[in-house]
Structure 1
Amino acid sequence: MPSTPSRTLDGWLSYLEQIHPVGIDLGLERVAEVARRMGLLANRLAPRVITVAGTNGKGSTVAMIEALAGAHGLTTAAYTSPHLLRYNERLRLGGSEADDATLIAGFEAVEAARLADEPVSLTYFEAGTLAALWAIARRRPDLAVLEVGLGGRLDAVNVIDADVAVITTIALDHAAFLGTDLEGIGREKAGIMRAGHPVILGSRELPASVRQCADERGAPAMTLGQDFRWQSSAGDRFSWQGTDADGTFPTLEDLPDPGLPLDNAATALQALAAAGIVLDEVSCRMALSALQVPGRMQWLGQWCLDVGHNPHAAAYLAERLSIQPCRGRTWVLLGMLADKDADGVIEALAAAADGWVSVTLVGDRARTAADLAGRIEAHGGHVAYQAQSPEAGAEWLSGRLAPDDRVLVCGSFFTVAAILAWKQAQAA
């Protein structure tokens, strides 16, 4: 193995952004070769591996699986993407973000392996995924939870075989890579399934191709609304009924609403049950009551931050706001990238918004505040301010909020990350 130069974490991230000609390069041949050199394919990553794919709800489902497993005394590792403020957020070991030294050691291991023998070119995401898998393998947790970055079949995460596969939702997103055919997108997401291993179908509206793929692969499917379900009860509580790995039908009562989609909470519970974990009601209550997922319906005073950036996610946000009415006005601070369906998002949020602040994002895929404002007004919305950055929009809005007003910040990870950093700076 060749030696690698010493770098800081920021140095490694900057380096990895430059070593591959394109940012996204779907396919498993290159990443599988480096994984093989690193020994990641010779042994199991963990006694249980759950892989989560889908358009919306992946991050919250991963977080709930992780929290629920931890509450049952299992050691855990979780890999997610993208991050909001720190790259370290992408890898959690034992419920805590990985430190710089762990990530650097992983990148060094990846670099040594990819340069050994015939050099292999890797994308930023592929190198990061392999570094995380290497760190997880060294930790050997009871459960590893892996979030697919894009698609499924050709995503770097799919180099690892899942004991339980989870499909959350299927909607139009990343059309430049996945296309606009929902049946085709469903087949791509279904690529994480493995023969003889259960797949949890966590939406009632999945394309037919997902179930077809499960049948073709011989992956036993457990479907929301059929094999497992949830039901609301009084006082922001819900009950869950599922199917255990041994074919029994457990029921959990009086579970706290975690403030996240209950379809995803039910799916997380079913994924653990399918993995052979006997769910304890008290442990589940404890995990769900304490759960907080940054950037997913995250309330910071009057501000609600959510990374939703497509019409399906926006419709859920509008529904949540409708069942949590406020006495004042509901503002929407919206910043989106140019390759996202802004009109669909605006239409989904229109009924929930009393006023809008549109903001400009920067970068190659940027969309301007003026572009968003024109679209909002075309849908009948009132744009009170156009800002040149999320922070500028938040500054303008914060000086005008009434005590009973609330703000929904959404449209992009970049928008939410900027406001999270702004809120942290305010609190410092």
Structure 2
Amino acid sequence: MSDASRSLSLAAWLSRLEAAHPVGIDLGLERVAEVARRMGLLDAPLAGRVITVAGTNGKGSTVAMLEALALTHGMTTAAYTSPHLLRYNERLRLEGVEADDATLIDGFEAVEAARLDGEPVSLTYFEVGTLGALHAIARRAPDLAILEVGLGGRLDAVNVIDPDVAVVTTVAQDHAAFLGNDLEGIGREKAGILRAGRPAVLGSESLPDSVRTVAEELGAPVYALGEAFRREGDGEGWRFWGQTPSQGLTLVDLPDPGLPLDNAATALQALVLAEVPLASAACRRALTEVQLPGRMQWVGQWCLDVGHNPHAADYLAGRLSARPCAGRTIALVGMLADKDADGVIEALSSVVDAWVPVGLDGERARGADELAERLVARGAEVWHRAASPGLGAAWLTPRLAAEDRVLVCGSFFTVGAVLAAWRSRAQTDQVDTSFEGAT
């Protein structure tokens, strides 16, 4: 590694990584496994226990609840997630705190040195980030490492590490260019994180048969929602029934975390199988305090959610229906070109009165005009179209009545851009961007 590389800032490293590989997504484990081997990441366990989480929706909330629950039980933790909303540092949390620049840079330097140690290996932005995070986690050797799959499962860089417990939250159509449109095939890809003889936690009652088939072929014990574990009730006071390898476990009078309760139950079951002795008081505290920006995050009359496929939009519609408002519901929506915009629009139409489509930047961008055309074709009321989420939010803000509410959705980029725009104007416009919790 050159002296120039050692002096790079985090921003410079990220710019360099974005330009280093010919394509942004290049599924496969051969290259990343070779560099992981050179880094020594495969020589010893990454942490006391490793839980890997895959799925189309619900990964982020499951990871957040796993982390919160582990912390309240006194465990040392590391959590790796993607993508981020505002800062790259969000992707790696150590003891519940975002990694600092120095930790991330140290990881990038370690990856760079290893990939050049012998025949050079080309890595994507995500692959370098994943290996850098694994380097930081291995140096900490926490009690529990929680790893979120970026895309798919079987060929995702995270899958270079063998988990002690594997979780599949949901399976739906998304990333069709890489995973296809066949749910059974997508299920097999997600199930690629399962390991022989190690527990597989299935966090949905409507997973394709292929997920369980892969588990059975591997001899991985299956703990499925609605079978080995379940939850009863909605909102405050719900109950969890779980299963250890030898006996049952019941937790009652649990608080509503403001996140999907199926995912909360899944997190509890995964921790049980990771041999964490759950205490009722600690579980209640964790579920009360857990926060996940960008998932049903309320900032005043604005609700921000990164949901970007029909399955996620159905969940959003249900949550909004359960929380009626006296005014209008306006959706500020921006989506990437490879997402099912028509499906998302259809899922939200029953709870949205008017729309503000916005454009996104980048190689997968979709313009506001295209979204507007799809909305108009469905008979939807389009109030305004804007070139960016920030401009859309700025146009909409002074036109809202006190009883109105806004749903910001369609992409991590949409939510992140609105949050960034608010942050940049917070001092001059006195915008309150405090996190009010997911409700």
Q: Which residue matches 1:16?
A: 17
1:238/1:426 CA distance change after superposition, 3 Å: farther
Q: Which residue matches 2:122?
A: 121
Q: How does 1:125-274 map to 2 (within 5 A)?
A: 125-232=126-233, 236-244=236-244, 246-274=245-273
Which residue identity lines up with residue 86 of structure 1 in the other structure? R
Tell me if structure 1 keeps the 8 A contact 2:317–2:347.
yes
Tell me if structure 2 keeps the 8 A contact 1:45–1:136.
yes
- Pair 1:43-2:67 in alignment: no
Q: Distance in 1 between matches of 2:278 and 2:115?
A: 41
Which residue identity lines up with residue 355 of structure 2 in the other structure? W
Q: Distance in 2 between matches of 1:399 and 1:247?
A: 59
Q: Distance in 2 between matches of 1:390 and 1:118?
A: 43
Q: Distance in 1 between matches of 2:241 and 2:284?
A: 15
- Pair 1:306-2:305 in alignment: yes
Q: Which residue matches 2:431?
A: none
TM-score by length of 2: 0.95
Partner-residue secondary structure (3-state), 2:248? coil
Q: Could you list the per-position Cα deviations for residues 279-312 of structure 1 after superposition, in whole angstroms to 9, with x for gaps in the alignment?
A: 1111011011111101111111111100000000
Tell me if structure 1 keeps the 8 A contact 2:55–2:169.
yes
Q: State the shift of 1:2 in Å.
A: 7.1
Q: Could you list the per-position Cα deviations for residues 204-248 of structure 1 after superposition, in whole angstroms to 9, with x for gaps in the alignment?
A: 110000000000001101000111111116x6331111112x321
Which residue identity lines up with residue 364 of structure 1 in the other structure? E
RMSD: 1.1
Q: Distance in 2 between matches of 1:112 and 1:21?
A: 20
Tell me if structure 2 keeps the 8 A contact 1:2–1:112.
no
Q: Distance in 2 between matches of 1:210 and 1:343?
A: 27
Q: Which residue matches 1:295?
A: 294
Q: Distance in 1 between matches of 2:32 and 2:362?
A: 27
Q: Distance in 2 between matches of 1:12 and 1:425?
A: 24
Q: State the shift of 1:379 in Å.
A: 2.0
Tell me if structure 2 keeps the 8 A contact 1:52–1:148.
yes
TM-score by length of 1: 0.98
Tell me if structure 1 keeps the 8 A contact 2:166–2:194.
yes
Q: Distance in 1 between matches of 2:7 and 2:163?
A: 34
Q: State the shift of 1:425 in Å.
A: 2.7
- Pair 1:410-2:409 in alignment: yes
Q: Distance in 2 between matches of 1:384 and 1:252?
A: 47
Q: How does 1:68-79 map to 2 (within 5 A)?
A: 68-79=69-80
Tell me if structure 1 keeps the 8 A contact 2:236–2:253.
no
- Aligned structure 1 segments of 4 or more residues deviating by more than 3 angstroms: 1-5
- Pair 1:396-2:404 in alignment: no
Q: Which residue matches 2:366?
A: 367
1:368/1:2 CA distance change after superposition, 3 Å: closer
Tell me if structure 2 keeps the 8 A contact 1:350–1:379.
no
Q: Distance in 1 between matches of 2:23 and 2:11?
A: 20
Partner-residue secondary structure (3-state), 2:21? coil
Tell me if structure 2 keeps the 8 A contact 1:242–1:270.
yes
Partner-residue secondary structure (3-state), 1:45? coil
Tell me if structure 2 keeps the 8 A contact 1:165–1:193.
yes
Q: Which residue matches 2:423?
A: 424
Which residue identity lines up with residue 299 of structure 1 in the other structure? W
Q: Distance in 2 between matches of 1:157 and 1:424?
A: 32
Which residue identity lines up with residue 137 of structure 1 in the other structure? A
Which residue identity lines up with residue 146 of structure 2 in the other structure? V
Q: Distance in 2 between matches of 1:273 and 1:79?
A: 20
Q: Distance in 2 between matches of 1:423 and 1:67?
A: 27
Q: Distance in 2 between matches of 1:17 and 1:362?
A: 15
| Unmatched tracts of structure 2, length 5 or more | 428-439
1:237/1:111 CA distance change after superposition, 3 Å: same
Q: Distance in 2 between matches of 1:335 and 1:353?
A: 15
Q: Which residue matches 2:107?
A: 106
Bigger shift: residues 160-169 or 359-368: 359-368
Q: Which residue matches 1:86?
A: 87
Bigger shift: residues 328-337 or 158-167: 328-337
Q: State the shift of 1:145 in Å.
A: 0.1
Q: Distance in 2 between matches of 1:27 and 1:398?
A: 44
- Indicate the percent of aligned positions where both proteins have the same amino acid: 70
Partner-residue secondary structure (3-state), 1:128? helix
1:40/1:348 CA distance change after superposition, 3 Å: same
Q: Distance in 2 between matches of 1:395 and 1:22?
A: 34
Q: Could you list the per-position Cα deviations for residues 146-188 of structure 1 after superposition, in whole angstroms to 9, with x for gaps in the alignment?
A: 0000110110000000000000000111111111111111001
- Pair 1:328-2:324 in alignment: no
Q: Distance in 1 between matches of 2:159 and 2:177?
A: 20
Q: Distance in 2 between matches of 1:193 and 1:284?
A: 26
Q: State the shift of 1:427 in Å.
A: 2.8
| Unmatched tracts of structure 1, length 5 or more | none
Which residue identity lines up with residue 239 of structure 2 in the other structure? S
